[in-house]
Amino acid sequence: MSEVLGVIIIARNGDRYEYHQDPKTYDGAATETTALGETQSFQLGSQLRSLYLSSSSPSFIKGLSSELLDTNEVKARVKAGGEGTVAFDSAIALFQGLYPPNPKNKITLANDTVVVAPLGGYQYVPVETVEPGNDRSLESWTSCPAFEKHIAEFHASDEFKEIEKQAQPFFKGVKDFVFGRPTTLENIWNIYDFVNSELTHNKTYAYRLPPTYIEQARHFANLHEDGIFSDKKIAGIGNIAGRTLLHTILSSLQRIAFNGDPLQFLLVQTTYQPFISLFHQMDVLQSHPDLKGIPEYSSALAIELRRGSPPDLRDFLRLKFKNGTSSDWKTLHVFSHHADIPLTEFIYRIDNAAITSNREWAQACNAKSSSSTGFLDAAKEQAVQSAFTGIVAFFLLFGLFIITRLVRRSRLRARQARLRLEGDENVPVVEKRRFI
């Protein structure tokens, strides 16, 4: 039995209302989460609590505080672009299940008054929102010219044309149920998402939709999205969603492995796109073809760092996937391994595909800084902003100094003009006495 040192959870958002994406650029429109989505994420958090925070679980993370949250041990990064509002709500709901209210979350004041946190000891978990304008790690496929070229090439491919031919009967039948939306394979994500959203939230629509239409829509959407967010090369532009997330995964694994770092649990709350790329990059689909395509709401990929048992005390990785809250955890074997993969081998195989900075992202995307934002590394961007702020402050102070001098000079001239009389002014000189 190996010991779990820590885990990285990559979770998809919960249920939401319709989310439209531009078929050519994948820029997204606004959407909102639902009570169902928050419940799904809460259930996922409760399931993660049973798996990693329960001492009776074989995957229990020893040393991780299970009752009261320790913010040094638990971190969260949340996607802020596109479906960002839904991802944020999902992360908060997940942590409500992972660390539920505890009456021990209290403080004793100097006057011996005991104050329990609101809602019976609600635990507030700080989350880091990742804005695409500053950090491209959680939304790397938008504003990326090379990825847009990849989309166009896929839409022109023989594979796409074959799928399009198969889908014609479905498009002909579903036309009356999408209310003017283009019934093309290029637009299949928006067709599927609309049908799925209406089927979930609109009773009248659910009564009218013919059988198998949602299954057909999902089938063709799975084929389309898998072609968009994958690549034959592990470091290809089609895998951009996974490549930028890999840096967070690898750096966090190194933190968990280092005994001097308290990090043991990292949540990355994101959307469906990185799952597709990562499964291709880690060569998972060969042994798990059923995972090809769009994961369910509140799906989760758990990357466990485990310490091997004697005589092999190396660190290993075990990947588990849960396709929605109603399914069971499934162990995934990566890179044709039939057991846990050594951490060193995993890093060796995948490290070259990782994009580690906004500058590398811009190079991979063939993006120009003149037409896009957020290309500088965070530290350099902050330095540029600080320098700009300093220059502006200097000129403001210098201008204020000049204006003050001019005002003083003007007032002095006005005072002299008021005091001067006609004719000669004989001012007597009075010698002041000095006392010693």
Same domain, 87 and 220: no
Same domain, 120 and 186: no
- How far is it, in rounded angstroms, from Cα 392 to Cα 398? 10
What is the structure's pLDDT at 368?
79
Same domain, 304 and 246: yes
What is the structure's pLDDT at 385?
45
Same domain, 223 and 236: no
Residue 150 lies in a domain: yes
CATH number at residue 106: 3.40.50.1240
Residue 423 lies in a domain: no
Same domain, 139 and 273: yes
Dihedrals φ, ψ of 140, to 5°?
Answer: -100, -5
Residue 280 lies in a domain: yes
Lookup: tokens for 246: 């890999």
Same domain, 205 and 258: no
Residue 71 lies in a domain: yes
Same domain, 137 and 268: yes
Same domain, 407 and 320: no
Same domain, 182 and 242: no
Residue 121 lies in a domain: yes
What is the structure's pLDDT at 400?
55
Residue 310 lies in a domain: yes
Residue 169 lies in a domain: no
Same domain, 158 and 41: yes
What is the structure's pLDDT at 362?
97
- How far is it, in rounded angstroms, from Cα 393 to Cα 389? 6
What is the structure's pLDDT at 392?
46
Residue 431 lies in a domain: no
- How far is it, in rounded angstroms, from Cα 374 to Cα 397? 30
In the chain, how many domains are there?
Answer: 3
For 255, the 3-state DSSP assignment is: helix
Q: CA distances (Å), 283 to each of 56, 191, 204, 233, 317, in order?
A: 32, 29, 42, 11, 15
Helical (H) or strand (E) element with 106 = strand 106-108
Q: Which domain holds residue 107?
A: 3-162+231-365
Same domain, 405 and 337: no
Same domain, 7 and 111: yes
**ω into residue 126 within 30 of 0, thus cis?**
no
Per-residue pLDDT of the chain (436 residues), as tens digits, is 689 999 999 999 999 999 999 999 999 999 999 999 999 999 999 999 999 999 999 999 999 999 999 999 999 999 999 999 999 999 999 999 999 999 999 999 999 999 999 999 999 999 999 999 999 999 999 999 999 999 999 999 999 999 999 999 999 999 999 999 999 999 999 999 999 999 999 999 999 999 999 999 999 999 999 999 999 999 999 999 999 999 999 999 999 999 899 999 999 999 999 999 999 999 999 999 999 999 999 999 999 999 988 888 899 999 999 999 999 999 999 998 889 999 999 999 999 999 999 999 999 999 975 334 433 344 444 444 444 444 544 555 555 555 556 546 655 555 544 434 344 444 444 444 443 3
